[in-house]
């Protein structure tokens, strides 16, 4: 079986990783950085806002078990794609809404999904999600991998991530992996 991958940025990568790790057909979710002007990236550098890298996750998935369009539906519904460089209280270029595609097929599906989200009536503002070709993905430091599952009781996890997960599980119950 050949797996596919897509890189998505929807704010803090801890939130995005926690959500996509729950989807059937998703094999692995890796936090990292992409889209910037530096040839390497670290959390400390990216947090300065000077690298233009976004916090992203690389999602490896089985396209037989989960369609990329479903992944895009989850993506648009679990963050605010109408704010530039911001998700809630997280502000900076590292929190932009972005889809990094790695094939023409992914680009077309991303653009169609963006159009569908724009026409859905779900959002009061204009969607500002960027759709751009993936040049390079820099894996985040190990401390960021599975952050939510390791730190569920920390303040950010309880106040920001947990409510997003609850909303996601309710709205996308049909996509949840079996326990």
Q: Is 157 a catalytic residue?
A: no
Dihedral over alpha carbons 100, 105, 109, 111 (to 10 degrees): 60
Q: How many residues does the chain have?
A: 179
3-state secondary structure 8-24: EEECCHHHHHHHHCCEC
Angle at 40 between CA 35 and CA 43, to 5 degrees: 85
> Catalytic site residues?
12
């Amino acid at each position: 079986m050949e797996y596919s991958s897509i890189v998505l940025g929807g704010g803090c990568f801890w939130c995005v990783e926690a959500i996509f790790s729950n989807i059937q057909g998703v094999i692995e979710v890796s936090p990292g950085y992409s889209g910037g002007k530096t040839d390497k990236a670290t959390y400390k550098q990216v947090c300065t806002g000077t690298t233009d890298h976004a916090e992203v996750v690389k999602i490896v998935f089985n396209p037989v078990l989960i369609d990329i369009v479903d992944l895009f539906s989850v993506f648009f519904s679990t963050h605010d794609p109408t704010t530039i460089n911001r998700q809630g209280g997280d502000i900076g270029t590292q929190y932009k809404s972005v889809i990094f595609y790695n094939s023409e097929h992914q680009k077309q599906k991303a653009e169609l999904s963006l159009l569908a989200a724009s026409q859905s009536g779900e959002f009061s503002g204009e969607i500002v999600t960027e759709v751009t070709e993936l040049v390079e993905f820099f894996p985040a430091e190990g401390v960021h991998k599975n952050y939510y599952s390791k730190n569920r009781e920390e303040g950010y996890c309880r106040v920001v991530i947990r409510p997003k997960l609850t909303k996601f599980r309710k709205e996308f119950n049909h996509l949840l992996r079996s326990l």
